[in-house]
Structure 1
Amino acid sequence: MWRKTNVVANLLQTCIDKKSILPGKVLHAYILRSNLLADTFLCNRLIELYSICNDPTSAHHMFDQTPQKNIYSWNAILSSYCKAGNLTFARKVFEQMPERNVASWNNLISLMLKNGYQEKALDVYKLMVLEGFWPTHVTFASVLSACGSVLNLELGKRCHGLVIKIGLDKNIFVCNGLLSVYAKCGVVKEAIKVFGDIDDPNEVTFTTMMGGLGKINGVFEALEMFRMMCRKGVQIDSVSLSAVLSACAKVGEYGEFGCYEENYRFLCNVVLGEQVHGLVVKLGFECDLYLSNSLLDMYAKNGNMKSAETIFSNLGKVSVVSWNIMIAGYGQKGQKEKAVECLQRMRCCGFEPDEVTYINMLAACSKRGDVETARQMFDSLSCPSVISWNAIISGYSQNENHKEAIEFFREMQFQNVKPDRTTVAVILGSCAGMEFLEGGKQVHAASQKAALHMDNYVASGLISMYSKCGKIKMAECIFSYVPELDIVCWNSMIAGLTLNSLDKEAFMLFKQMQQGGMLPTEFSYTAILSCCAKLCSSFQGRQVHSQIVKDGYMNYVVVGTALVDMYCKCGDIDGARKYFDRMPVRNTVTWNEMIHGYAQNGRGDEAVRLYKNMIASGEKPDGITFIAVLTACSHSGLVDLGVRIFNSMQSDYGLEPELDHYTCIIDCLGRAGHFHDAELLMDKMPYKNDPIIWEVLLSSCRVHANVSLAQRAAEELFHLKPESSSPYVLLANIYSSLGRWDDVRAVRELMSDRQIVKDPGYSWTEDKEQDISLSVG
């Protein structure tokens, strides 16, 4: 009898191994005829057979027929439901089990992960440990995967400690799980430590490391990891090649670059991506759709749409993902028309756009400022997710349609879509842009309700919003309550203090940030240089400059521009130009600052010369450029040149002059005494009722003693700015300079009758003893 049972058991095991259900059913019939059903071992094998062959109904029927169920019987039926993905029945079986072992817990944890319930899987794991069960390598493989998915670094670290305690720190599956947690959470130093302790890393190990390094833009490090993988003879598959390509695509995600080194790294990444592309072809993976999509993504994110188009056109098989990558690539380059054309071709080819497609289209339209088309795209979504809401809200916010962004945020809440950290941060930016304090407070309350207010991303937005609304104390309060401040929060607080003219406090906070071990970024230095510029403190500015050199931020264009601005505003125009000439990368803002610096320091000829150099270099001037160069012409008496430059705005560059441009050219004409030309221009310009224009003209009339035009300008200002004392004082000064004392007396009596009080004057000097040392030991 025992021998017969043993033979049947072996035959059943063969059926299980080969997933052969028909021979298995024949054996089941033989067991029934031979009265062997009382053997629990055979019953367990039958449950396992039906489970492995995806027949949970037969497995359950066999379980019910088992006369003496043991823990293996319960685990077998639990495994059957887990394999079938039936979480409801699996949990019911789990709860009914008279006893459990580690396999029982592992089955349930694994099933929850398969169904996307990572948090619940982690809760089950915690309960398992609490009940005294020791996890196995199978447990850790599942749990660490869940930790990585939900970015639960704290639990991942606790698991790491238990792994070492149990002695599983050399198990490759566990080590790969630990690597995945640290890499996905961005803690690459810990991942490198784990990697260094692995004796025999496999392809999963290397792929995970490359993914983690790519996440922090460590493209060269990821490629070196790939080289090591090749040297060790580890099998290269499409997944590992995709990981390298993903790293090469990372820099392109950030769009424009503000640093000479970043541009160099960008070019290197493109070259490295092309080299990996060559390897893909050499290894015969060019037909792999997943890998082809990675190649498309790499080229698209690096802005090389020609190569992306070539790959796309040669794909034997495309997917919705392929189309989405192409649409996103066109959107990133601001080619909305091509993105729309791609969407149309996608539909013609029988592919149905998904939510990612529409999100990419929203981004493409928003980048071009076409928020109306973006709105139409959004309205075509039947049930938009929070990501779609974020895309349309961001589009409105980025195009400074802040009111519409806030209205969408309200509508989102009416639709019962729960905002996430991105939603809250974007809306806070819109509230800050409108200086809409009441709305900002409501968003603050909503963030507290959603438990998002302590998130660094949201906290930074709150600090900026309150700062821009003039509530600096509230910003400081939020800053003080954030549990773990990151550099973005520090930068927001420093910028907020600067914005509210608390420049010395900003210096103190900058020093405190460094003493706490936080390294400044280019944005930290930009904010602190703005303080130096506003204080006209070249002493502190030079200190900051030295630290910028020490920390390696010299080649960042945003930092260089701030340095030029600081030296110009501190009166060291030659120092500013010396640094300007050494900058490896400049943008329009950099040129504008240098031109404006010359203008403000009375060196108009050099300002105009630099303006011409800017045009010759291929840099396109903007509205600010013309304000700077027209100011220079005005201050230096370059009237004819100023008029020609003013006229070139629209004729050569398609820029419509705005109030500031008219103010500059009127000032230029007025200072030179060309009042007839100034009046002709004022009569036909669209800003004739703006008081600033008349104030500028009145000031020029005083210099040239043009009484009739001064009287006209003053009368206009009495009407436009009835409470201002400036026109009365300027007109009285003109009369007094000509000895017309009766007219002076009449102006003063008019001021008295209208209860106009002259504003008191004041002076300001820099207290050198109050300079704040920035040196940190």
Structure 2
Amino acid sequence: MPERDVVSWNNMISVLVRKGLEEEALVVYERMVSQGFLPSRFTLASVLSACSKLLDGVTGMRCHGVAVKIGLDGNIFVGNALLSMYAKCGLMVDHGVRVFESLSEPNEISFTAVINGLARENRVLEAVHMFRSMCEKGVQVDPVCLSNILRISAPREECDSSSEIYRNVLGKQIHSLMLRLGLQGDLHLNNSLLETYANNGDMNSAEVIFTEMPEVNVVSWNIMIAGFGQDYRSDKSIEYLKRMRESGFEPNEVTCTSVLGACFLSGDVETGRRIFSSIPYPSVTAWNALLSGYSKFEHYEEAINQFREMQLQNLKPDRTTLSVILSSCARLRFLEGGKQIHGVAIRNNISRNSHIVSGLIAVYSECEKMEISEHIFDDCTTELDIACCNSMMAGLSRNSLDTEALILFRRMLQTGVLFPNETSYATVLSSCSRLCSLFHGRKFHGQVAKSGYASDSFVETALTDMYCKCGEIDSARELFDTVLVKSIVLWNEMIHGYAHNGRGDEAVGLYREMISRGEKPDWITFVSLLTACNHSGLVDTGLEILSSMQRDHGIEPELDHYICIVDCLGRAGRLEDAEALAEATPYKNSSVLWEILLSSCRVHGDVSLARRIAEKLIALDPQNSATYVLLSNIYTSVRRWDEAAALQGLMNKNRVYKTPGHSWITENM
């Protein structure tokens, strides 16, 4: 065999890279260098291409060092290969920009590589600045470059509203440039443009583009179907699915999953179920879309049943699958199901994944197994993230361990690496509410203001609730008035705060202000409002509000609403009206309703009505000791000792026993 030279080494490396044998190509390159051959620009370009495909930034940087050493770093051919490698490896900001600046005459490949790299690292402003510089220097703009810029203009979840507006405007500008350059016939570029408009929620513009495209493919149809789904328009997604089939395109799994997600986003669970059934061999991704849809619309039992069906198909669930099912188990307080998923997670070696840990903590906490939750949490201390801490704090709070929740929050701050988010603050403020700890609540309010979460709707509601529960109703109202966009939850919280603090007139006034602003009340609004009327003795106002629920707002009163009004009438001494209302409700067989009225009979000394109500209660629930005790207290309060003794005999006969009470003493932290 003739002696090898640089050209033969280059050919060997180049062939290996083209065949997808990048690691072997790097081995050959190392042999070439070790035998004393000096790499040429072609050698380095091939090796850097291999590094790009392997995402091997370390070897790529070593090649960069070699290029500098032999004076090829300024060569446009090598420079572009370096830029491409740094872009693919996510090292454009740290290393690639310096390479670009070293090039005397960068071309369209150079600019495109830098823009691509900056886009990958979400450096929006730098990428746009580079694109403008490219246009100003008269460098030819190609479809790949425009596609990268369009990818930047598609919004991401973490973007604030100003960034979203900026990206939307940028997308329209690129669209105009496409038209000026005559690139509207490029399929890949048109798909990028479609995706930009769809992700920005501008489906009208997307539909215009789609209609005008000279050529479409399955990707184009999928973008439209998914876009309408994100816009909560499942009818349009299904329409496009039908048109896609009529146009001769066969839907793939991405298509079906997009339609499935669209149906669930729009609340059309039944159609979503049918779409899923039409997929011959659904993948884990399709199953996840189905399970997530069921869970979102609170069909938790169905989600668990479908997961069992998925297991029968011998599909391996991923962390998304298990997270969804753990959430369903937590909602149902299904301990055995949670334990089974815990076992699946351990067998699949993902039990320490933060999403799984959070879900497991939620299940065990909801099932009052805090010792297991704490064990899981402590066992993963070195791998915890903010989601796990939030789940643990919420579990402590749900189990009335609010002091421990505050201590955990403090521990989290002391780590110096875990920073609370809006969920953290909302949870810890809820614990302050239950502890009536104004001192801690004010302290956390200060931290919220500094951290930038003061305008989050959950945090605003939690702060309002905290001030109300701590008796600082004026501070709560002051905070409430600063909120520009008030959710129904916040309105309800403020009305409930007035009710809790015995300021019924102000609760009614706030309700009327809410209605005048066009806000639509829900059933919780009326529970808070009727509670306020009850606590403040606003009987006639309460009766009017009760009748207006169905008449003016189409909300059927539920048991909680009737309890408030029956109690309100009873407290005011209008016992016959209270009895008549209780009899007329759909809940006349509810023990709670009659117990409320029996308590009012005791307050007003109406023995005759008390006996009649007690007979109803004993018939409804003969083992409820509260009925016997209340009636006995009424008898003894009017010195009817014989009847009280007879009632005690009836308790013994029915084997009813009064449960002894107890008190708690809470120490300060």
Q: TM-score range by the shorter chain?
A: 0.7 to 0.9
CA distance in 1, matches of 2:29, 2:527: 69
Helix, strand or coil for the counterpart of 1:417?
coil
Q: What runs of 5+ residues in structure 1 fail to find an aligned partner?
A: 1-67, 77-100, 114-120, 148-155, 183-189, 255-260, 771-777
* Contact 1:203–1:235, Cα closer than 8 Å, also in 2: no
Greater mean deviation of Cα atoms: 340-349 or 377-386: 340-349
Counterpart code for 1:494: M
Deviation at 1:576, TM superposition (A): 0.8
- CA deviations 1:645-695 (Å, max 9, x no partner) are 333333333333333233333333333344444444433433333332222
1:427 is matched with 325
Match of 1:18 in 2: none
Partner of 1:284: 182
Cα offset, 1:481, TM superposition: 3.5
| Number of the residue aligned with 1:400 | 298
Aligned partners of 2:3 and 2:45: how far apart in 1?
24
Q: What's 2:307 paired with? A: 409
Of 722, 743, 759 in structure 1, the residue corresponding to residue 660 of structure 2 is: 759
Q: CA deviation at 1:232?
A: 6.1
Distance, in Å, in 2 between the alignment partners of 1:719 and 1:103 is: 96
1:208 aligned residue (117, 134, 139):
117
With over 3 angstroms needed to count, the CA separation of the structure-2 counterparts of 1:282 and 1:655, relative to structure 1, is farther
Query: In the superposition, relative to structure 1, how do residues 629 and 132 fare at CA in structure 2: closer, same or farther (>3 Å)?
Result: farther
Task: Tell me the residue number matched to 2:456.
Answer: 556
8 Å contact from structure 1 (residues 241, 276) kept in 2:
yes
**Contact 2:602–2:634, Cα closer than 8 Å, also in 1:** yes
Q: Counterpart of 1:412 in 2: which secondary structure?
A: helix
Correspondence 1:666-681 to 2 at 5 A: 666-681=566-581
Following TM superposition, by how much is the alpha carbon of 1:535 offset from its aligned partner in structure 2, in angstroms? 1.0
Residue of 321, 341, 359 corresponding to 2:239? 341
Identify the range of structure 1 (553-562 vs 281-290) with the bigger mean alpha-carbon deviation: 281-290
State the shift of 1:325 in Å.
Answer: 2.2
Give runs of aligned pairs for residues 125-164 of structure 1, distance below 5 A.
138-147=46-55, 156=56, 158-159=58-59, 162=62
* Alignment match of 2:372 (pick from 474, 488, 491): 474
CA distance 1:669–1:244, shift in 2 (3 Å): farther
Report the equivalent of 1:686.
Answer: 586
Equivalent residue letter for 1:744? A
- Retained in 1: the 8 A contact 2:330–2:338? yes
Supply the distance in 1 between the matched residues of 2:126 and 2:575 (Cα, whole angstroms). Answer: 67
Q: Kindly tell me: are residues 568 and 676 of structure 1, through their superposed partners in 2, closer, same or farther at Cα, counting changes over 3 Å?
A: same
Q: Residues 86 and 117 of structure 2 are in contact (CA less than 8 Å); yes or no, is this contact kept in structure 1? A: no
Q: How far, CA to CA, are the matches of 1:712 and 1:228 in structure 2?
A: 89
Name the counterpart of 1:650.
550
1:180/1:625 Cα in 2 relative to 1: closer, same or farther (>3 Å)?
Answer: farther
Aligned partners of 1:691 and 1:721 also within 8 Å = yes
Query: How far 1:501 sits from its partner (Å)?
Result: 2.3
Match of 2:511 in 1: 611
Q: Which runs of structure 2 are paired with 1:310-459 in the superposition (5 Å)? A: 310-459=208-357
Instruction: String of CA shifts for 1:78-115, please: whole Å, max 9, x gaps.
Output: xxxxxxxxxxxxxxxxxxxxxxx7865775565448xx
Q: Give the letter aligned to residue 121 of structure 2.
A: G
5+ residue gaps, structure 2, are: 35-42, 74-78, 102-109
Question: Aligned AA for 2:427?
Answer: A
Deviation at 1:607, TM superposition (A): 1.3
Distance apart, 1:543 and its partner CA: 0.5
Match of 1:37 in 2: none
1:242 matched to 2:147: yes
TM-score by length of 1: 0.75
Shift of 1:168: 7.3
CA distance in 1, matches of 2:67, 2:625: 83
Q: 1:180-212: CA deviations, max 9, x gaps?
A: 333xxxxxxx65223443334531221231233
Q: Provide the rounded CA distance (Å) in 1 between the counterparts of 2:398 and 2:30.
A: 52
Residues 424-444 of structure 1: CA deviation (Å, up to 9, x unaligned): 111111111111111111111
Query: What residue in structure 2 maps to residue 621 of structure 1?
Result: 521
Paired residue type of 1:435:
R
Contact 1:634 1:642 in 2 (8 A): yes
Look at both structures and tell me which one has the larger radius of gyration over its CA atoms.
Answer: 1
Instruction: Please state whether the residue corresponding to 2:519 is helix, strand or coil.
Output: coil
How far does residue 601 in structure 1 lie from its aligned partner after superposition? 1.1
Change in 2 beyond 3 A, CA 1:275/1:164: closer
Q: In the aligned structure 2, how far is the partner of 1:694 from the partner of 1:660?
A: 13
Deviation at 1:614, TM superposition (A): 2.0
Aligned to 1:660: 560
Distance 1:554-1:752 versus aligned 2 partners, 3 A rule: same
1:352 offset after TM fit, Å? Answer: 2.4
Name the structure 1 match of 2:429. Answer: 529
One-letter amino acid of the counterpart of residue 53, structure 2: S
**Partners of 2:148 and 2:518 in 1: how far apart?**
38
Contact 2:26 2:50 in 1 (8 A): no
Deviation at 1:344, TM superposition (A): 2.2
Q: Choose from 168, 183, 188 the match for 1:270.
A: 168
Deviates more, 1:326-335 or 1:421-430: 326-335
| Shift in CA distance, 674/526, structure 1 to aligned 2, threshold 3 Å | same
Alignment-derived partner of residue 199 in structure 1: 100
Aligned 8 A contact 2:566 2:597 in 1: yes
Q: Which of 383, 399, 414 in structure 2 is aligned with 1:515?
A: 414
Q: Structure 1 residues 192, 658: CA separation in 2 closer, same or farther (over 3 Å shift)? A: farther
Q: What SS is found at the alignment partner of 1:381?
A: coil
Mean CA deviation greater in 565-574 or 692-701? 692-701
Q: Distance in 1 between matches of 2:139 and 2:613?
A: 83
2:147 counterpart letter in structure 1: S
CA distance in 1, matches of 2:351, 2:33: 37
- Note if contact 1:210-1:225 (Cα within 8 Å) is conserved in structure 2: no
Confirm or deny: 8 A CA contact 2:57 2:85 kept in the other structure: no
Equivalent positions of 1:533-612 (< 5 A) are 533-612=433-512
Percent identity reads 47
Partner Cα separation in structure 1 for residue 130 and residue 577 of structure 2: 70
Q: TM-score, normalising length from structure 2?
A: 0.86
Taking only aligned residues, the RMSD between alpha carbons, in angstroms, comes to 3.3
> For 1:579, what is the secondary structure of its paired residue?
helix
Q: How many residues are paired up?
A: 641
Question: How does 1:51-62 map onto structure 2 within 5 Å?
Answer: none
1:485 aligned to 2:384? yes
Higher relative contact order (CA 8 A, sep 6+): 1
Give how far 1:388 is off: 0.6
Q: How many Å apart are 1:723 and its aligned residue?
A: 4.5
Name the CA shift for 1:663/1:145 in 2 (closer, same or farther; >3 Å): farther
Distance 1:234 1:486, change over 3 A: farther
Cα offsets for 1:440-476 (capped at 9, x unmatched): 1111111222222222222222222222222223223
Alpha carbons 2:175, 2:193 under 8 Å: kept: yes
Most deviating of 539-548 and 468-477:
468-477
Task: Measure the CA separation in 2 of the matches of 1:564 and 1:614.
Answer: 17
Secondary structure in 2 matching 1:529: helix
